[in-house]
Amino acid sequence: MTLAVDAFARTLSFPLDPFQREACEVIADDRSVLVAAPTGAGKTAVAEFAMFHTMEAPSGRVFYTTPMKALSNQKYRELQQRYGADSVGLLTGDVAINGEARLVVMTTEVLRNMLYEGRDLNELEFVVLDEVHFLADRFRGPVWEEVIIHLPKHVRLVLLSATVSNAEEFGDWVDAVRGNTSVIVSETRPVPLDSHVLVGRRLVELFESSKAERQNRPSRELVDVVAGQGLPRGRTRRSGRNSKRWRSDARPRRTRRVHRPETVELLGQSRLLPAIWFIFSRAGCDDAVRQLVNHDVRLTSAEERAIIRAIVDERTATLPDEDLAVLGYWEWRESLERGVAAHHAGLLPVFKEVVEVLFQRRLVKVVFATETLALGINMPARSVVLEQLEKFNGQARVRITPGEYTQLTGRAGRRGIDTDGHAVVVWTGESTPEEIASLASRRTYPLQSAFKPTYNMAVNLIDRLGVAGTREVLETSFAQFQADRSVVSLAAGVQEQRSSL
């Protein structure tokens, strides 16, 4: 088995880390594997080995699933460059290219639908479930569980997850449902992360030491600086011995506005560019770009601007001239030449691709992005800026979770380029230093199932499996496993015995 891994390693421009090699050995041994590691640690190399291993054989197919169309499109382009257009396909629901290829990139929902349609998957060797921790998403999470449960037993899984505190439990469930699954966990960031809070024009360390970080204790400097700026909304200090503590009976005050041009200037002076600046709305990203352009922010040299123009012209040459004005092409191009861009699902795909290329080549210095950019898209930066710690979840504005914070800041620090990455939280008065420290210091979080049967799911299951079979599927869900581990093991055993009759 080591020979196959060694052959793969020789195709890479970097040595495999121990966790990567261990996971590749599991795949070479014809087993499924769950890999839980921080963003940027190199989990994708494990999936690449599964594809390499399959393509070395005369037959066999691999499905690579992602939670987002943008991720699927990027992975499709990467695999095309490596294996050629004839060997790679793309299925995203509204795009179908070469769907019978040996390597097919798709969204997870597409694979779920294929399973419900009873497609022939006899030649399928591996399924890669990228960002598998998405199964905790209350809107889309059940899709991942349905895929894991319904895939034919001969298919091996390569599950790629952010670091979670209960990876062993999740791996035990996959092993109980499918069998022969190994769990490999790496908690080491390839590039250490320094956390800061921007208060006014002052960049303050969030933690004084690693010990303080483990204890969720913000730096004394930050507490003092924030106290001098005024108190977070709805909170006031107590007098006397506990003057650094907060209570919530004060009259709310307005949140401080972020002056982005000044902040970008400060990041440049502090050598913290290139940066990804997360804003949780498409309109907010576009407004931020316009704000920098209107303030005449320019982060590029004349030589860089010439290179940017050449790349933009080449990549957009097929766009009809009459469409350029409608698409906002000229404004978009001007912002790129200044080293500033937006990145979100509302952009034309070719515009997004250009932004990604320019950022990877360090020609664009600041990208204002929605959280889609945190999900695996290959755009690492020196710094990540969080303008807000709240987002709209479809029903209400909620505080981001420690897991989401870790996912977002995971883009900070470029392996092989930076000695450390930087996370910058812009203090707007909505959070106390203690709240920010608590959010930033919890590096792992438990993966909780969001599996709840819907009418659609129930109809599909009953149609395919009958009432008894549907009951068995529900009993083998991760939600049921977490509620009662013994029930799922017994149900999986009965299901396996019945399939062998």
SS (H, E, C) 54-97: HHCCCCCEEEEEECCHHHHHHHHHHHHHHHCHHHEEEECCCCEE
Q: What residue ranges do the domains of the chain occupy? A: 2-187, 193-297+341-441
Task: Evaluate if residue 327 carries a pLDDT over 60.
Answer: yes
Please report the pLDDT score of residue 342 as a whole number. Answer: 96
230 versus 498: which is more confidently predicted? 498
What does the pLDDT read at residue 86? 95
- pLDDT value at 338 more than 50: yes
Pairwise pLDDT comparison (159 vs 419), residue with the higher score? 159
The tokens describing 103, both together, are 């390597």
CATH number of 2-187: 3.40.50.300
pLDDT band at 256 (very low <50, low <70, confident <90, very high): low
Give pLDDT tens digits for 286-301.
999 999 999 999 999 9
Q: Are 79 and 128 contacting, i.e. CB atoms less than 8 angstroms apart?
A: no
199-226 average pLDDT score: 83
- CA–CA separation, 480 and 153 (whole Å): 20
Instruction: Answer whether the bond into residue 152 is a cis peptide, omega within 30°.
Output: no
- pLDDT bin (cut points 50, 70, 90) of residue 266 is very high
Q: Does residue 367 carry a pLDDT above 70?
A: yes
- Answer yes or no: are the C-beta atoms of 481 and 173 closer than 8 Å: yes
CB atoms within 10 A of CB 455: 7
Q: How far apart are CA 342 and CA 346, in angstroms?
A: 10
Is-same-fold flag (2-187; 193-297+341-441)? yes
If one compares 219 and 53, the residue with the highest pLDDT of the two is 53
Lowest average pLDDT, out of 111-115, 154-158, 289-293, goes to 111-115
What integer pLDDT is reported at residue 258 of this predicted model?
Answer: 67
Q: What is the mean pLDDT of the chain?
A: 86
**Model pLDDT, residue 201:** 84
Strands 397-399 and 390-392: antiparallel
- The single-letter DSSP state of residue 101 is S
pLDDT at 448 over 70: yes
Average of pLDDT values for 371-375?
73
Lowest-confidence segment of 9-13, 113-117, 162-166 by average pLDDT:
162-166
> What is the Cα–Cα distance from 330 to 344, expressed in whole angstroms?
18
Q: Please report the pLDDT score of residue 129 as a whole number.
A: 97
pLDDT value for 108: 95
Is pLDDT above 60 for 237? no
Mean pLDDT within 377-393: 85
pLDDT band at 55 (very low <50, low <70, confident <90, very high): very high
- In 145-247, the DSSP E strands lie at 156-161, 181-185, 193-199, 202-205, 236-237, 246-247
Rounded to whole angstroms, how far apart are CA atoms 477 and 480? 5
Phi, psi of 202 (to 5 degrees): -110, 125
| Architecture in CATH for domain 193-297+341-441 | 3-Layer(aba) Sandwich (3.40)
Give the pLDDT confidence score for residue 419 in this predicted structure: 85
Of 188-192, 395-399, 497-501, the range with the lowest mean pLDDT is 497-501
Handedness of CA 447, 452, 454, 460 (dihedral sign): positive
First-residue to last-residue Cα distance in the chain: 33
pLDDT at residue 346, rounded to an integer: 87
344-363: b or e for each residue (b if 16 or more CB lie within 10 Å)? beebeeebbbbbbebbeeeb
**34 Cβ contact list (under 8 Å, min separation 6):** 132, 157, 159, 161, 167, 170, 171, 174, 181, 182, 183, 184
Residue 390 pLDDT grade (very low, low, confident, very high; cuts 50, 70, 90): confident
Q: How does pLDDT run across 25-54, given as a tens digit for each residue?
A: 999 999 999 999 987 788 999 999 999 999
**Residue 236, pLDDT score:** 43
Low-confidence winner among 140-144, 330-334, 377-381 (lowest mean pLDDT): 377-381
Residue 243 has pLDDT above 80, yes or no: no
The pLDDT of residue 459 = 86
pLDDT of residue 475: 85
Best mean pLDDT range from 296-310, 312-326, 399-413: 296-310
Whether the predicted pLDDT of 246 surpasses 50? no
pLDDT confidence tier of residue 239, bands split at 50, 70 and 90:
very low
| Average pLDDT over every residue of 253-261 | 64
Mean pLDDT of 165-180: 93
Q: Is pLDDT at 247 greater than 70 in this prediction? A: no
Is beta strand 275-278 parallel, antiparallel or unpaired with respect to 366-369?
Answer: parallel
Cα dihedral 266, 269, 271, 273 sign: positive
Q: Highest mean pLDDT: which of 91-105, 197-211, 242-256, 424-438? A: 91-105
Residue 278 pLDDT class (50, 70, 90 cuts): very high
